[in-house]
Structure 1
Amino acid sequence: MSLTDSVNQLLDAERDHGGYVYAMALVAAFNGLLFGFDTGVISGALLYIEDSFGLSTFLEQVVTSSVLVGAILGAATGGRLADRFGRRRLTLAGAVVFFVGSLGMALSPSLPMLIGWRIVVGVAVGVASVIGPLYISETAPPDIRGSLGFLQQLMITLGILLAYVVNYLFAPSFLEVIGWRWMLGFGAVPAVALGVGMYFLPESPRWLLEHDRTEEARDVLTRIREHGAVEEEIEEIREVSETEAKGGLSDLFEPWVRPALTVGIGLAVLQQVSGINTILYYAPTILSNIGLGDIASLFGTVGIGVVNVVMTAVALLLVDRVGRRPLLLVGVSGMTVMLGLLGLGFYLPGLSGVIGYMTLASMILYVAFFAISLGPVFWLMISEIYPLRIRGTAEGTASVFNWAANLLVALTFLSLINRFGEALGFWTLGVFSLVALVFIYFRVPETMGRSLEEIEADLRDSAIVGPDSGTSEAPDSSE
């Protein structure tokens, strides 16, 4: 199966479904751009915030991780707010908060103010991590839902790359100590793009049907589905909705939902503790340890960002052809090996010459393997596996665990490597990556080519989520 086949599948799907569904997914995926930009921008800004405020290792971790405190709050409330007020309105509110927060960070006169504004931005980032995948999954046709769902992660990687480029361009070599302010303030630009784009898009048809706005839902579906499939989908959604009361947090623990909850939370935690954000947050610091200067380190992170984007694009082309599980298994296997080699590079004496290049190559390949697996597939899976009535709440719960694990790693990694060395730090992450591989093999289902309602029906029928669950052969969209 070639990349050409995957590209042709997407082109065929565009002819079948029309371009509007792609426009909706692309704009919603700008939530990921905000998420990615904030993840990437702090890595470069931190080098110069330290000069302005004189940061200890602990304070570096606090500045980096403060956004995660807000993200946990945003993710915890985002799902329920999305179920109550709608996906569209919450996206608009999140864009406004991110815009204001970015300007607040740029103008912060003191370290406490900077940390406070990063918490505010974190709320918007947490909401974005929930609402983007949710909106895309509820508007995308089943045959291309995986590819469109990957747009969220692709935009996250583009946001990270954009941040790395902004960091390099605004480095204080020509802006002196104010460069970091321009880096952080630039986040207002993608926030405006998201707000303007979403203003012109409709609400999710599934949310509209859940709130008895059938005609509006029909109008939306008419624009994004093949003729004749609209009424069938309305009935499918209505049947699921009418047989279930609106769910709350306690419904997450019903026996038939619990396996899906385990998959979502398991992937959420393992995505973070396998170490990706140690690379994304601290890449310039790690590259400096290898022997590169500040500007060279920032330039090196741009290369890492490019690899992240390219491999996520490759995953986008493959996800609806080879499935979710194969990408996860191959990618996480590669991540585990690269973390072992990365630790070895720091363990061996000297980081110059061949060992230095091996360390840099291991870092780049680790990001590449992550970009085709845990990066995009996690966000796609949590938008697919949960029942409609609790989907917003369940996605929010998974996102909370994801951000909490992210916070734990961000608050401890620099202290860990300062005390025990980089080698032990990366080998510890490698052990967690191996645990993720075992978890995926035994617990994560295949969802390729199946509607959200079919996935829910299978979950109800079997109450089992594992490698053999939901593996009915996906229809070949090329036929």
Structure 2
Amino acid sequence: MATASAHGGRAGSVVQLPPLTNGPHRRRLGLVALVATFGGLLFGYDTGVINGALTPMSAELGLTPFTEGVVTASLVFAAAIGAILGGRLSDVWGRRKTIILLAVLFFAGTLAVVLTPTFEVLVVGRVLLGLAVGGASTVVPVFLAELAPYEIRGSIAGRNELAIVVGQLAAFVVNAIIGNLFGHLDGVWRIMFAICALPAVALFFGMLRMPESPRWLVEKGRRQEALAVLETVRSKDRAAAELADVENVAREEQESHQIGWRAIFSNRNLLRILLVAIGLGVAQQLTGINSIMYYGQTVLTESGFSRDGALIANVAPGVIAVVGGLIALKMMDRLDRRTTFIIGLSLTTACHVLIGIASMALPAGNPARPFVILFLVVAFVGSMQTFLNVAVWVYLSEIFPLHMRGFGIGVAVFALWVVNGFLSLYFPSMVAAMGITGTFFLFAGVGALALLFVVTQVPESRGRTLEALEEDVTTGAIYLVKQR
């Protein structure tokens, strides 16, 4: 029998779960994960496509540097709102229905951007896409985490982040191909955006055939439906045991009145884990990863590449992000979350320092400068994707108790997107004012502080069921366990 390491602080119980087995239920779980991660694919494409579409878009619509920043950042700030609304809506309405609604928003936003006649309509379209991106960034990881067995929760929930970077890579490749082959045509950027209508349609129709989260169904008192869902993605004995575990924890919370987001303000342990999650999400963004993903062409042009050369070279960070994501999925169920965070922040901070040094040591005009900086940018993105991005999103999806999971991840991701938005808005101004040297040295300083935060504040979460984590978080026991 597999022990689910579920030491309940209140009940003092240890839940015994039958071991995982292979069979049709494992393939069904893989199919559900594949369909849901189209939300991550859309997230990645819609955030990455601006990287190569911005220049022809600006030329056609007469954008200024400020309005370029508005177009880029409008999606990101809207994503912050979408994160908190999507998380809350998924708690009330269900994970599956919320994802279906997000697919509609993705499609509507795409149409608005592709058909836009003016800057104002363009921003409206970007806002719609942002609401969808933000919602997907909270609801899809939670949906996957609640469906996955605890033994492989990291690799299942982490598939969403892999889908995000695949989407970003697809955007970079599409931009490079269309930009170099059809860059002379008016409205070429509209074609770049139109591509993402296809996965939006696939997500909508795919989720119509997918099940609801069994843990959400239990919370709503729909026991038989939850059991029916679990039996499609587990063996029958495992499904029954997991359902009993989920019901037991839900009943304990009902009896102790630890229900809903209001419980956060009456339980300091819940407030603490919310602050930890916010800090972790903000730390991830302050590495500057999305500045590279949004403005990679700008950074590489500043390094010495031509405009077309930068567009092609920009594919390299996208490729390494996908490779890093695949490696991360292999490690997620083997390496502790804290260890992964510490390695990732150490490597990314070192890359920031090296980029700053290289930009000082190799002045503009030096033929080696663009290639050295490209190599270091690729190393940074690879380190980020292998050790931080996947792990952070998995951690946020699993660390909150069921009754506040959508709200909790929504608040944490709201803070993440707000920081992302300000970096998106001001990154071009930072590079203009401080150059690559000052900008990346600043990122390095922030990275050192983020590393200190992880070492001192972030508890471990790997290797336990969501119900065991829920009890340990609620009682504060998670902070008493010796950090591995």
The TM-score with structure 2 as length reference comes to 0.91
Cα deviation, residue 55, structure 1: 2.6
Counterpart in the other structure of 1:251: 263
Given candidates 146, 154, 159, the residue that maps to 1:151 is 159
Please give the alpha-carbon distance, in whole angstroms, between the structure 2 residues aligned to 1:66 and 1:159: 19
Alignment of 1:46-445 (within 5 A): 46-171=54-179, 173-175=181-183, 176-245=185-254, 247-253=259-265, 254-348=267-361, 349-350=363-364, 352-445=366-459
What are the superposed Cα offsets for residues 228-273 of structure 1, whole Å, 9 maximum, x if unpaired? 1222211211122222247444333321212211221011111111
Name the amino acid aligned to 1:203. Answer: E
Instruction: Give the distance between the partners of 1:89 and 1:381, measured in 2 at CA.
Output: 23
Query: Contact 2:35–2:207 at 8 Å: present in 1 too?
Result: yes
Please tell me whether the aligned partners of residues 305 and 370 of structure 2 are also in contact (alpha carbons under 8 angstroms): no
| Paired residue total | 459
- The 8 Å contact of residues 259 and 465 in structure 1, kept in 2 or not, is answered as no
Report the more deviating stretch, 165-174 or 242-251: 242-251
Structure 2 CA distance for aligned equivalents of residues 351 and 315 of structure 1: 37
In 1, Cα distance between equivalents of 2:372 and 2:380: 12
Residues 334-367 of structure 1: CA distance to partner in whole angstroms, max 9, x if unpaired?
1001011112222232253333322111100000
Task: Please tell me whether the aligned partners of residues 328 and 374 of structure 1 are also in contact (alpha carbons under 8 angstroms).
Answer: yes
Structure 1 residue aligned with 2:12:
none
Amino acid at match of 2:411: T
77-86 or 26-35: which moved more?
Answer: 26-35
CA contact (8 A) 2:299 2:436 kept: no
The equivalent residue for 1:8 is: none
Tell me which residue corresponds to 1:6: none
State the shift of 1:194 in Å: 1.1
Question: 1:16 Cα shift?
Answer: 9.1
Query: What does the per-residue CA deviation read over 1:381-417, in whole Å, with 9 as the maximum and x for residues that have no partner?
Result: 0111111110110011111011101011111111112
Once the two structures are TM-superposed, the CA of residue 200 in structure 1 deviates from its matched residue by: 0.9
Q: CA deviation at 1:431?
A: 1.2
Amino acid at match of 2:264: L
Q: Does 1:37 align with 2:45?
A: yes
CA contact (8 A) 1:272 1:405 kept: yes
CA distance in 1, matches of 2:364, 2:77: 37
Gaps of 5+ in 2: 1-19
Shift of 1:374: 2.0
CA distance in 2, matches of 1:236, 1:107: 51
Equivalents in 2 of 1:117, 1:144: separation in Å? 37
CA separation in 1, counterparts of 2:317 and 2:429?
Answer: 24
Which residue identity does 1:127 align to in structure 2? G
The question of 1:455 aligning with 2:469 is answered: yes
Report SS of the residue matched to 1:177: coil
Whether contact under 8 Å (2:166, 2:322) holds in the other structure is yes
Quick one: distance in 1 between partners of 2:194 and 2:33? Answer: 26
CA distance in 2 between partners of 1:116 and 1:37 (Å) = 18
- Per the TM alignment, residue 148 of structure 1 is displaced from its structure 2 partner at its CA by 0.6
Work out whether residues 40 and 159 of structure 1, in 8 Å CA contact, stay in contact via their aligned partners in 2.
yes
Supply the distance in 2 between the matched residues of 1:160 and 1:72 (Cα, whole angstroms).
19
Distance (Å, rounded) in 1 between the aligned partners of 2:414 and 2:54 = 25
Distance change (3 Å), C-alpha of 1:351 and 1:95: farther
User: Per-residue deviation at 1:15?
Assistant: 4.9
Contact 1:37-1:160 within 8 A present in 2 as well: yes
Instruction: Sort the Cα spacing of 1:275 and 1:407 in 2 relative to 1 into closer, same or farther, 3 A.
Output: same
Partners of 1:41 and 1:160 within 8 A in 2 = yes
**C-alpha separation in 1, matches of 2:341 and 2:451:** 8
Deviation at 1:134, TM superposition (A): 0.6
**Using the alignment, how far apart are the partners of 2:352 and 2:304 within structure 1?**
20
The one-letter code of the counterpart of 1:190 is P
> What is the alpha-carbon root mean square deviation over aligned residues?
1.8
Partner SS state of residue 333, structure 2: helix
1:168 counterpart letter in structure 2: A
Aligned counterparts of 1:41 and 1:466: Cα–Cα separation in 2: 44
Output the amino acid matched with 2:379. Answer: L
Distance 1:464 1:450, change over 3 A: closer
Classify the secondary structure of the residue corresponding to 2:236.
coil
**AA matched with 2:189:** W
Q: Report the residue type matching 1:329 in the other structure.
A: I
Question: Counterpart of 1:28?
Answer: 36
Normalising by structure 1, what TM-score?
Answer: 0.92
Give the Å deviation of 1:293.
2.3
